[in-house]
Structure 1
Amino acid sequence: MSVRSSQHARQLLLREYRGVLSTQSKAMPGFPFGSVAPFCLDASGRPLILISRIAQHTHNLKADGKCSLLVGERGAQDVQAAGRLTLLAEASPLHGAGEIEAAARRFYRYFPASQDYHLAHDFDFWVLQPVRWRYIGGFGAIHWLDRVELANPFAGNSETSMVEHMNGDHPDAIAHYVRLAGLPDGEPAQMVGIDSEGFHLRIGAALHWLPFAEPCSNPGEVRQALVALARADAWPVSEGPGDE
């Protein structure tokens, strides 16, 4: 397995926040059924989705949890040369009150509007447990990956505390990150997630993952990385900070 391909697959799943969910059609047996699904990653790095109980893809998943999630680079000029990932997975609904509450807190940060229809309508959280990955990084860069490490060491109270601190006490630093990364600045940005390799900003309804210069292993290193970025004149990543 290519270590570099595994890293690129991981970062692609972090950069994107919507994909095509393909399920086994219940109404048309033998045919795949594709639908657009927004997602974020849970503490274990599994894609987390919120879907209606009356949706066709939900009926399909209840009959057969085997599915795939196709994720591709946004804004790619040449789709054949762009990075894309097909995640083969087993889907299952969340049942425990604790895990549903944790999923809701995380999902609402990424997709605030979801809180309204989750509470008012029959929507449930599901997770996609990865089975295998097919990553294509362009012509000739095609790999089957049996494992991609996506667990977030900061997920939970540590991440929530850091995110709330940045949003509450350091909006100027967040605005600087937006300018530094060349992201749209028409609306104020909110930090919604932090992992060992970077962080997510939400600007309006769009999400952007921005990488640290080096991976962080503890909250102290995250603080140092964020302070360094707040003082930087250019993003210290050779391949560029943006995700578009």
Structure 2
Amino acid sequence: MAVSDRSTTDGPEADPAPADRPQTIRPTDDEARDLARKLVRTARYGGLGVLDPQDGSPFVSRVALATEMDGTPVMLVSTLSQHTQALALDRRCSLLVGEPGKGDPLAHPRLSIVAEAEKVEADDPAHADIRRRYLMRHPKARLYVDFGDFAFYRVRPVRASLNGGFGKAYLLSTADLLVESAAIEGLAAMEAGAIAHMHEDHLDAVRLYAEKLARAGEGSWLLSSFDPQGLDFVDGDKVARLAFEPPLESAAELRPRLVALAKQARGVE
């Protein structure tokens, strides 16, 4: 089965609604983009849909997730699994993220991403950062991350559908989901060292960021990753995110921003 030749940078276009039917897709705005990106950044797991090579039928499984700094989802999968074998023959896939909370599960936001999977080879310059960020999100995976039959895959978005709750439907493009920023390269180069420093010398500040500013509640919060638009925290199976307002424009802004956030957090009752 051939891989779709549709460009991964093309955004979706909604079909015009008939005159007698109300338009159900809202114009994509910054609020929708922020929500979609948060759903991806905070997802520990997602539903992965692939095409069964036997007959082309849809096949769905659950995969554990992390992200690259620009927001591209990544997963660690066994090459022996059915979904990985399907991706080896047809890269097209879809990914559903967004956990239901209390009450009606359909009232909670979720994001369906149409994507193409790409294996991250061990010699890929990004492999070490992907591995580190994934293990910060899923530390138990350290037991098997380096097994020969496991590999990382990027889930490269082509387009997406966001359901922000009843009556809140949006269509998003690749550009709506991923972050383009001059700060990415510099932040990526300093991320591992900066996180280690924060944990060694400023763990109290990290926990204040999560508990007070991200309103994640008390816990043993750790900083798992950061990017130009915010900080990600983990506490066991719990995940939280604190957005930067405004986003960072350079890596040099990170330290003063963290200092300012610590002062802000200490002033929050």
Give the TM-score of the pair, scaled to structure 1: 0.85
RMSD: 2.2
Aligned pairs for 1:69-80 (under 5 A) are 69-80=95-106
Report what 1:150 is aligned to.
178
Q: Do structure 1's residue 24 and structure 2's residue 51 form an aligned pair?
A: yes
Report what 2:24 is aligned to.
none
127-136 or 116-125: bigger deviation: 116-125
Report what 1:238 is aligned to.
none
Report what 1:109 is aligned to.
136
Report what 2:242 is aligned to.
210
Deviating 4+ runs (over 6 angstroms): none
Report what 1:179 is aligned to.
211
Report what 1:13 is aligned to.
40
Secondary structure of 2:216's aligned partner: coil
Q: Do structure 1's residue 91 and structure 2's residue 117 form an aligned pair?
A: yes
Q: Do structure 1's residue 43 and structure 2's residue 69 form an aligned pair?
A: yes
Decide whether aligned partners of structure 1 residues 165 and 6 sit closer, same or farther in structure 2, where only a CA change above 3 A counts: same
Show CA shifts across 1:82-127 (max 9, x none).
Answer: 2110000011211251332332122222222222212245100111
- Output the CA distance in 2 between the equivalents of 1:74 and 1:199: 22
Report what 2:268 is aligned to.
234
Q: Unpaired segments of 5 or more residues in structure 2? A: 1-26
For these two proteins, the number of residue pairs brought into alignment is 233
- Output the CA distance in 1 between the equivalents of 2:121 and 2:37: 27
Secondary structure of 1:215's aligned partner: coil
Secondary structure of 2:224's aligned partner: strand
Q: Do structure 1's residue 168 and structure 2's residue 218 form an aligned pair?
A: no
Which protein is bigger by CA-based radius of gyration? 2
Report what 1:34 is aligned to.
60
8 A contact 1:196–1:216 mirrored in 2: yes
Q: Unpaired segments of 5 or more residues in structure 1? A: 236-244
| Matching residue's letter, 1:126 | Y
Report what 2:222 is aligned to.
190
Give the TM-score of the pair, scaled to structure 2: 0.78
Report what 2:84 is aligned to.
58
8 A contact 2:74–2:152 mirrored in 1: yes
Decide whether aligned partners of structure 1 residues 174 and 92 sit closer, same or farther in structure 2, where only a CA change above 3 A counts: same
- Output the CA distance in 2 between the equivalents of 1:65 and 1:10: 23
Secondary structure of 2:133's aligned partner: helix
| Matching residue's letter, 1:167 | H
